Amino acid sequence: MKNFDVAIVGGGLAGLTASIYLAKAGRKVIVLEKSSRFGGRGMTINKNGICMNLGAHALYRGGAAFLTFNELGMNLPGGIPSTKAHGIWKGDIFTIPTDFRSILSTPLLSWSAKVQFSRLMIRLGNLDVGEVPKMSLTTWAEHEIKDPMVRNIFYALCRTTTYTFAPTIQLASSVLKQIQLSIKEGVFYVDGGWETIITKLRDIANHVGVQFLAKKHVLEIEHYEDKQRIYCFDDEVFEVGTVIVTTPPKEACNIIKGAEGTSLHRWSEQSVPVTVAALDIGLRRLPNPTHQFALGLDQPIFFTNQSRAAKLSDDGSIAVSLIKYQNPALEMKHTHEDKGQLESTMDLLHPNWKREVVAQQYLPTIKVVYDFPHINRVETPGPNIPEMPGVYVAGDWAGHDEILADAAVASGKRAALHILKQLESEAVHHGNGAII
């Protein structure tokens, strides 16, 4: 058995990011992935020559993930989609105002509402989100936005930028920060889907000496004072000084022996997973090229043509995605109706679309994140479990003020840097001098 300094459980965005920062600093790292493929929910499926992510995916250009990828020297192929948008209201399609001209021309808003909307967009651009007190998105919006239609548009933008429909519990400051990222920097669609990101991360990790094991399912992690023992389903055992667990919080609690009574257990108890229904469709052509991007204003749905900015097929076929946001604060009762609702949205936006279908993929309740900043969070999770020195967590649920892929990447980097700092201070303490 080879000796490793750090073992990482899970080969998604968080695990891959952490592995690179640790290996670049000279640590011997192994990544254990229970699946046959790396990437987690960042993987891409090729259906009839069309690259389909697991639901619509976008990178925020000013977000932690994009900035970290730049820092690692990753050059991602892809493009920035146009922000020209349509809104669906009472079965009709309207232009959503995104600039001064469209604000003036939209029939969605009264004259006073147009003034209010303009002021809101200026305010959002200049707002210091750090000064926003702890409150729900609903509380903030009801106080700040008086016109109901302006509020409807605002909530639709919030759902789209956070992939989350939970305004009564979402932390206002976190959502407003994401809205600012969207306004100032925009998003980026990746050629070839998010598999391109995973492949590039693995290439960097391989180059700096990270070891990978697929189909390596971790059964249990035992914490000792100066070592962690990892037991796998195939009876292989790893002994390392440090472990980063990038599984969902409840799974982390199950595999880390003695997790009950620790901070990890609290983080797991406070977590609120988010799901969506996702319909991805490959089309020979887009029936109505005017409708590239649409938001439901009176229903929590979203449509985007990802091929307007990214190459997702070899033959020019188009990949579109529809999302129905499922409210985690409500009981999930009618999810079986979601596919029909998304198909009806396609009928409205793109009549006769079924004639053009090359491939389809429907995911009725795909996980978006396993937690997000909400008003019931007692504390921000990770990176270290204080009661278990040497045991760390990362993942989309372990963001501090980041969300989505930004939370996954930022938490992976945060765990790695915390470990390196800890090892450096231990080396100094033992009289070995600083590690360079």
The neighbouring-strand residues paired with 294 are 86, 303
- Quick one: pLDDT band at residue 431, thresholds 50, 70, 90? low
Percent of the chain scoring above 70 in pLDDT: 97
Is the distance from CB of 67 to CB of 413 less than 8 angstroms?
no
State the average pLDDT for the chain.
95
Averaged pLDDT for residues 348-365: 98
pTM value is 0.95
Contact between 325 and 276 under an 8 Å Cβ cutoff? The reply is: yes
What is the rounded average pLDDT of the residues 25-38?
Answer: 97
Indicate if the pLDDT at residue 21 is higher than 80.
Answer: yes
Residue 435 pLDDT class (50, 70, 90 cuts): very low
* pLDDT for res 225: 86
Say whether pLDDT at 331 is over 80: no
Residues 243-255 have pLDDT tens digits of 999 999 999 999 9
**Can you give the chain as a three-state secondary structure string?**
CCCCCEEEECCCHHHHHHHHHHHHCCCCEEEECCCCCCCHHHCEEEECCEEEECCCCCEECCCHHHHHHHHCCCCCCEECCCCCEEEEECCEEEEECCCHHHHHHCCCCCHHHHHHHHHHHHHHHHCCHHHCCCCEHHHHHHHHCCCHHHHHHHHHHHHHHHCCCCCCCEEHHHHHHHHHHHHHCCEEEECCCCHHHHHHHHHHHHHCCCEEECCCCEEEEEECCCCEEEEECCCCEEEECEEEECCCHHHHHHHECCCCCCHHHHHHHHCCCEEEEEEEEEECCCCCCCCCEEEECCCCEEEEEHHHCCCCECCCCEEEEEEEEECCCCCCCCHHHHHHHHHHHHHHHCCCHHHHEEEEEEEEEEEEECCCCECCCCCCCCCECCCCCCEEECCHHHCCCCCHHHHHHHHHHHHHHHHHHHHHHHHHHCCCCCCC
Q: Encode pLDDT of 140-191 as tens digits.
A: 999 999 999 999 999 999 999 999 999 999 999 999 999 999 999 999 999 9
pLDDT of amino acid 424:
85
* C-alpha dihedral (17, 200, 404, 249), degrees to nearest 10: -50
What is the model's pLDDT at position 429?
A: 64
> Does 381 have pLDDT greater than 50?
yes
| Residue 2 clears pLDDT 80, i.e. is over it | no
pLDDT at 343: 98
Q: List, in order of start, the domains of the chain with CATH numbers.
A: 6-42+196-271+374-429 (3.50.50.60), 65-189+274-369 (3.90.660.50)
Q: How confident is the model at residue 430 (pLDDT cuts 50, 70, 90)?
A: low
252 contacts: CB under 8 Å, gap ≥ 6: 245, 259, 264, 268, 393
pLDDT tens for each residue of 286-314: 999 999 999 999 999 999 999 999 999 99
Angle in degrees, CA 232, 29, 202, rounded to 5:
95
> What pLDDT is stored for residue 333 in this prediction?
67
Mean pLDDT of all residues in 218-235: 96
Buried b (16+ CB within 10 A) or exposed e, 79-107: eebeeebbbbbeeeebbbbbeeeebeebe
Could you give the count of Cα atoms lying within 13 Å of 301 in the half-sphere of its Cβ? Answer: 26
**Which stretch of 44-53, 229-238, 332-341 has the lowest confidence by average pLDDT?**
332-341
Average pLDDT estimate for 126-142:
97
